[in-house]
Amino acid sequence: MLLAGDPDKEFGLSGLRDGFDQEAVLRLVETAAGASIDREAADGPVEIRTEPMLGELGKMGDRLARACERSETIALATGHPESIDYLLKAVGDLLAARGARMVRLGEGLRWREAGREHDWHIEHFGNVALQTDGRVPRHTHSPHAMRRMLAEGVPDLVVADHGFAGAAIEAGVQTVSIADVNDPALLVAKAQGRTEVVVVLDDHVPPQNYWPCFQAIAARFPSTGTHL
């Protein structure tokens, strides 16, 4: 679907098909996940091994530690509530405690899309931006919320996933991102040299299952004493 130009899979990124075919994209996913993909399978799970995920989480932690040392401005966002939002909230608490300047861009913004019977809202869970329908956070791949956030101001660093990450990368903002193994757009952007850190994991598991991910990030911050 990505190579077919499905906007829902592009996350607001342009030029993803330039020089990439299906085999090239599958190889990117295999490298990031550390496991081979059955070319004949039409569905089913894709294995994600521990080593490459921990390696990329370490790189994420290193970049975030540098951001704290430099007192950089950081915006957090997720299109995957009830899972990744808890991980990013803990990361945001860590960053704030260690000297980063957290920004809550787009707080209270509302807009209406054609065909919708409700407005979209930007709200925050801690320092993590979410797209909501005015009642509950919603899963989204759309880049529109981040585009509106960046219209308010451009942070030094964005930590996000889905269209929030894609829109930031497209805008040229330094971005550390999380990608599900079945959403390769951010990995293609990395291969194109447009972003440096993309952590591949399963983004639809219970929040407590991300505790080891938080530990791997926090381990790059000496003596944090911070808990998820």
What is residue 227's predicted lDDT score, i.e. its pLDDT? Answer: 46
Give a yes or no: residue 2 inside a domain: no
User: 72, 81, 61, 210: which is closest to 137 by C-alpha?
Assistant: 81
Residue 149 lies in a domain: yes
Per-residue pLDDT of the chain (228 residues; tens, 9 = 90+): 576 678 889 999 999 988 788 899 889 999 999 988 877 666 667 788 999 999 999 999 999 999 999 999 999 999 999 899 999 999 999 999 999 999 999 999 999 988 888 999 999 999 999 999 999 999 999 999 999 999 999 999 999 999 999 999 999 999 999 999 889 999 999 999 999 999 999 988 999 999 999 999 999 997 744 444
Q: Long-range contact list for 136-139, CB < 8 A, 24+ apart?
A: 136/81, 137/81, 137/82, 137/85, 138/81, 139/79, 139/80, 139/81
**Token representation of residue 34:** 């550390």
1 within a domain of the structure (yes/no)? no
Residue 164 is part of a domain; what is its CATH number? Answer: 3.40.50
Residue 213 has a CB neighbour count (10 Å cut-off) of 21
Per-residue pLDDT at 7: 87
What is the span of the domain harbouring residue 28?
A: 7-39+47-218
* Domain-located, residue 103: yes
**pTM, 2 dp:** 0.92
pLDDT in tens, 123-171: 999 999 999 999 999 999 999 999 999 999 999 999 999 999 999 999 9
Q: Name the average pLDDT for the chain.
A: 92
Distance CA 207, CA 225 (A): 20
- Residues 198/66, Cβ–Cβ less than 8 Å: no
User: Alpha helices, DSSP H only, in the chain?
Assistant: 7-10, 22-33, 50-69, 84-97, 144-152, 162-170, 185-191, 211-218
* Exposure b/e, 20-45, CB count within 10 A at least 16 = b: beeeebeebbbebbbeeeeeeeeeee
CB half-sphere exposure, 213, CA atoms < 13 A = 25
Q: CB–CB of 180/203 below 8 Å? A: yes
| Structure confidence at residue 44 (pLDDT) | 62
Task: Output the CA–CA distances (angstroms, integers) from residue 149 to 75, 123, 174, 175, in the order listed.
Answer: 9, 11, 15, 14
Helix (H, G, I), strand (E, B) or coil at 177: strand
CA distances from 63 to 3, 5, 17, 60, 92 (A): 30, 31, 28, 5, 14
* pLDDT > 70 fraction of the chain, expressed in percent and rounded: 94
Q: Rounded to 5 degrees, what are φ and ψ at 59? A: -65, -40
Task: Work out how many domains the chain is built from and give that number.
Answer: 1
